[in-house]
Amino acid sequence: MITFMNNSDSEEEPCNERTSLMSAESPPVPSYQDGLQASEAGEAQGHRRRTGSSRSPNNIADGEVSDSAVPVRERALENEEEELTLKYGAKHVIMLFVPVTLCMIVVVATIKSVRFYTEKNGQLIYTPFSEDTPSVGQRLLNSVLNTIIMISVIVVMTVFLVVLYKYRCYKFIHGWLILSSLMLLFLFTYIYLGEVLKTYNVAMDYPTLFLVIWNFGAVGMICIHWKGPLQLQQAYLIMISALMALVFIKYLPEWSAWVILGAISIYDLMAVLCPKGPLRMLVETAQERNEPIFPALIYSSAMMWTVAMAKSDTAARGPSQQTWDAAEDGRENHRTTSHADSQMSETRSPVPTRPITSFEELEEEERGVKLGLGDFIFYSVLVGKAAATASGDWNTTLACFVAILIGLCLTLLLLAVFKKALPALPISITFGLVFYFSTDNLVRPFMDTLASHQLYI
Amino acid sequence: AFFWLVSLLLSSLVWFIAVKASDPRDERLQKGLLIFGVMFSVLLQEVFRFLYYKLLRKAIEGLVALSEDGCSPISIQQMAYGPGGSRGGMSGAFSMINLLADALGPGTVGIHGDSQLYFLTSAFMTMVLIFLHTFWGILFFHGCEHRRWWEITAVVVMHLAVSGSTFCNPLYVGSLVPSYLLMATAAAWAYLLSGGSAQNLRRFLLCK
């Protein structure tokens, strides 16, 4: 039951110079799995029971303290829950590791092989200040200004989205999201495919290209915004995050990228944890209305086995914030089908034989871990930038990768402890940044010297 | 793996500072500093292994406290395997991956008078190290479990010896052979500690 709430940052659709079409993607939206779980399931009772036990199985101190304090009966119950939590928690961690790793692999592979994404070819309009300045101070200033502009754009969009959500302008959001995912799926895929083909010098005629892209895009739209097999949805989400990350890596100038990464994690922290933060307000509003919060921007690793597949609540959704479809479905469906669900889940769920009620089984099935797509994107941006700019060194990339995964683990642990919406970016990005800079500057000369003398440590 | 990375980071920090603070032209001093860096790194790695052991110990205690029948789902031996292996993997990856990336490109090995067996020996050395880290993990954890300090010191000494032997490179006989011997010893020891015996081995090999 490790639920994961992450700040999914924006699918900021940059306006690159190839198109003057500016479709702004949604700004950072957190996906609050906790809220999601509570509202979706309607197995709120089970949920409350779990939230009642405030220990995390992984937190040793808690375990030791509560051992003595808690009465035996409750403790047995809690133990069972905790063990369940732990077991599924570990599984969920793995379930998140795989997609994050996949996304990063795609990004790094592309960066290392396709020249296009490392060439400097202009900048986004969101980062107007150039970094080609003669002095270091000027460059720093420009990058800070760029960051300020970018972050304010993101904040504005988030607030706009929250306002829209509050005033129930679902259709507008719906349309916005469809537009942005259309652009991502078609335009960016076209560019990506073109560059890859160029790199490997493979000829492809336009009709074939059109066919391929049309199929890819159409299936993607359907999978993401409507119904589709879970794995396909997950695959599409990963691909989309990778594409987005590649765009960021290409169009963000170097220092700006690092400063933006740092600033975004701070913003994430504040937006999610401060009482007046937009993201927190979003969660609370959604919880009041008992609706799932933006399932669209979330990668989910598990799904509720209902008759209507791809239900809004837990299914993985597209990058666009178009959940209103889903939310509306969800709201209508989940009351009526919750009984069906529990029965379905009993028969279909692959949950192993444990002496738990169907309620809990359903909960387990539903409580796949969820991670916001923005998190995927920014993790991949970090690793991709490391691959692109760290003097071609694989060690740095590897170090950043491990750092991010460990950060993710820690965040999941914290989630299990606190059981509420948490930002996913800060810890991982901090680790990643620290490791990037230190590995690049400190470890690399050391390892290079060692390797040249063939010494091993 | 993470802990290994952190130890690597700290040791390279120390080395870096030392290098910057010293005269870059003095060849012998640089070599000496390098050796110092290596030794320090080895010691730091072992320290981190110990810290990691402590952390795992606590985790297991927590698990045991939680579980219904007082048995932990994972034994400490299994736990030793995992981190040892991942540590080895990480160190191997770090050692090899740049080499591999360069190997993809054009070039001739040993054109400047270095040994032509560079890639080959690097590969073997890395392999040996990965295995060794795994075995050391098992030995180390076992030593910590049963409070046998000599086991722990043996691991540390072995690690130092292996690293030290690489100083003989490119005289590969000096480094590869002792490392493999040590690995065989460590493997046998770890196997015995994990409950294996000559009989088990024979049975396994004869597919009984």
Token pair for residue B82? 């995992």
Residue owning tokens 């990350």: A245
pLDDT top residue among A339 and B181: B181
Exposed/middle/buried for residue A246 (C-beta within 10 Å: 0-12, 13-18, 19+): buried
Is the model's pLDDT at A24 over the cut of 50? Answer: no
Distance CA A418, CA A351 (A): 25
Residue type, A367: R
- Which residues, in sequence order, are CB contacts of A18 under 8 Å at separation 6+? A191
Q: Which residues pair with B110 in a beta bridge?
A: none
Determine the pLDDT at residue A213.
Answer: 92
Residue owning tokens 């932990």: B72
Determine the pLDDT at residue A85.
Answer: 58
Answer whether A395 sits within 8 Å of B97, measured CB to CB: yes
Answer whether A395 sits within 8 Å of B98, measured CB to CB: yes
Taking residues A284-306, report their average pLDDT.
Answer: 65
Read off the pLDDT band of B107 (50, 70, 90).
low
pTM recorded for the entire structure: 0.70
Residue of A303, A321, A322, A414 lying closest to A313 (CA atoms) = A303
Read off the pLDDT band of A331 (50, 70, 90).
very low
Is the model's pLDDT at B177 over the cut of 70? Answer: yes
Residues A360 and A37: beta-carbon distance below 8 Å: no
Query: For chain A, what percentages of helix, strand and coil (3-state, to nearest 5) are there?
Result: 70, 5, 25
Distance in Å, alpha carbon of A172 to nearest chain B alpha carbon: 45
Answer whether B45 sits within 8 Å of A457, measured CB to CB: yes
Is the model's pLDDT at A58 over the cut of 50? Answer: no
Q: Which of residues 74-133 of A touch B (CB under 8 A)?
A: 76, 79-80, 82-83, 86
Determine the pLDDT at residue A316.
Answer: 34
Read off the pLDDT band of A207 (50, 70, 90).
very high
Encode pLDDT of A156-200 as tens digits: 888 888 888 888 887 888 788 888 888 888 888 998 998 888 888
Determine the pLDDT at residue A362.
Answer: 40
Determine the pLDDT at residue A307.
Answer: 33
Is the model's pLDDT at B112 over the cut of 90? Answer: no
Answer whether A86 sits within 8 Å of B163, measured CB to CB: no
Encode pLDDT of A340-353 as tens digits: 444 443 344 343 34
Answer whether B163 sits within 8 Å of A455, measured CB to CB: yes
Which helix (H) or strand (E) covers residue A332, if one does?
Answer: helix A324-348
CA angle B151, B152, B155 (to 5 degrees): 90
End-to-end CA distance of chain A: 40
Please report, rounded to a whole number, the percentage of residues in chain B having pLDDT higher than 90: 0
Is the model's pLDDT at A241 over the cut of 80? Answer: yes
CA angle B60, B64, B69 (to 5 degrees): 150
Under DSSP, is residue B97 helix (H, G, I), strand (E, B) or coil?
Answer: helix
Residue owning tokens 């949805």: A233
Determine the pLDDT at residue A214.
Answer: 92
Lowest pLDDT segment from A36-50, A132-146, A149-163, B144-158: A36-50
Residue of A84, A411, A140, A131 lying closest to A265 (CA atoms) = A411
Lowest pLDDT segment from A131-135, A441-445, B79-83, B197-201: B79-83
Distance CA A44, CA B32 (A): 65
Interface test with A, best of B38, B43, B66, B119 (most A CBs within 10 A): B66
Q: In chain A, what residues touch B126 (CB-CB under 8 Å)?
A: 456
Q: Which backbone phi and psi does B207 adopt, to 5 degrees?
A: 55, 45
Token pair for residue A216? 């890819």
Residues A9, A34, A313, A375: which is the catalytic one?
A375
Taking residues A246-275, report their average pLDDT.
Answer: 86
Distance CA A126, CA A10 (A): 13
pLDDT top residue among A33 and A152: A152
Encode pLDDT of A88-138 as tens digits: 566 677 778 888 889 988 998 888 888 777 777 777 777 777 777 778 888
Taking residues A227-238, report their average pLDDT.
Answer: 85
Taking residues A262-274, report their average pLDDT.
Answer: 87
Residue of A177, A198, A330 lying closest to A240 (CA atoms) = A177
Whether B188 contacts chain A with CB within 8 A: no
ipTM of the complex: 0.74
Task: Please confirm, yes or no, whether A67 is among the known catalytic residues.
Answer: no
Residue type, A449: T
Distance in Å, alpha carbon of A83 to nearest chain B alpha carbon: 7
Whether B13 contacts chain A with CB within 8 A: yes
Task: Please confirm, yes or no, whether A313 is among the known catalytic residues.
Answer: no
Encode pLDDT of A353-375 as tens digits: 444 344 333 444 445 667 778 88
Q: Which residues pair with A371 in a beta bridge?
A: A299
Residues A189 and A334: beta-carbon distance below 8 Å: no
